[in-house]
Amino acid sequence: DAGVIQSPRHEVTEMGQEVTLRCKPISGHNSLFWYRQTMMRGLELLIYFNNNVPIDDSGMPEDRFSAKMPNASFSTLKIQPSEPRDSAVYFCASSFPGQGGQPQHFGDGTRLSIL
Amino acid sequence: GENVEQHPSTLSVQEGDSAVIKCTYSDSASNYFPWYKQELGKRPQLIIDIRSNVGEKKDQRIAVTLNKTAKHFSLHITETQPEDSAVYFCAASGDTGFQKLVFGTGTRLLVSP
């Protein structure tokens, strides 16, 4: 039973470079969430999709951040250009459709370091 | 929108003691309340959840209680063990149409042998 799959697990790059994080949600899940976690700011919701459509991107910090979900099994979060303050762990989570709330299942995260 | 507050931010207990983490929420329409455990360097993992039509739910050493009137819910861990040491997050469904969750700020639990 494959969970949410994120790649890469670790990314180290220099300031100014483009960074692309990838996520494959659990099959059958129709909601997908991108989070950023840091010691200072905790777990922040950046953007979420439902049926591949972006619903709320108010958490995206700046125009340097963008996210896409071209199909039900793939999403990307892109940072261009990257800055040292973008260093964090980025989690993707997905959720099954259903009445009322449903649990979100998290991937193992991408640990991003911008030098 | 929904706002979730979580207390305490850190909690230290001796092995075998009980631990209680409390959360309050603001949106009376919220009806789903999960709890996540995050070990160091790992992903948040669901450990227990409760829906608004239930007042209490137990799973071995962990239990969650919900008071809809007061808009608060709590996680109870009994007979704590060192492996319970982690950060615990509560959450509330802020937008049930799309399964969005609003998370608390987390509680770092340390269980000392």
**Checking DSSP bridges between strand A10-13 and strand A110-114, what pairing results, if any?**
parallel
Question: Do the Cβ atoms of B110 and B85 come closer than 8 Å?
Answer: yes
Query: Looking at A39-43, A97-101, B79-83, which range is the least confident one?
Result: A97-101
Q: Which residue, chain included where needed, has tokens 């953007």? A: A47
Give the contacts of B70 (CB within 8 A, at least 6 positions apart).
Answer: B24
Report the residue of B48, B68, B93, B99 to disrupt the A interface, i.e. the one with the largest count of A CBs within 10 Å: B99
Phi/psi of residue B20, nearest 5 degrees: -130, 130
Segment B16-59, tens digit of pLDDT: 999 999 999 999 989 899 999 999 999 999 999 998 888 999 99
8 Å CB contact of B42 and A108 = yes
| Of A48, A55, A100, Cβ closest to residue B32 | A100
Closest-CA residue of B relative to A41 is B105
Statement: residue B98 has pLDDT above 80: no
Q: Identify the DSSP state of B82.
A: G
B112: closest CA of chain A, how far (Å): 23
- Using H for helix, E for strand and C for coil, what is the string for chain A? CCCCEEECCEEEECCCCCEEEEEECCCCCCEEEEEEEECCCEEEEEEEEECCEEEECCCCCCCCEEEEEEECCEEEEEECCCCHHHCEEEEEEEECCCCCCCCEEECCCEEEEEC
What is the structure's pLDDT at B96? 59
Separation of alpha carbons A67 and A61, rounded Å: 12
Statement: residue B82 has pLDDT above 70: yes
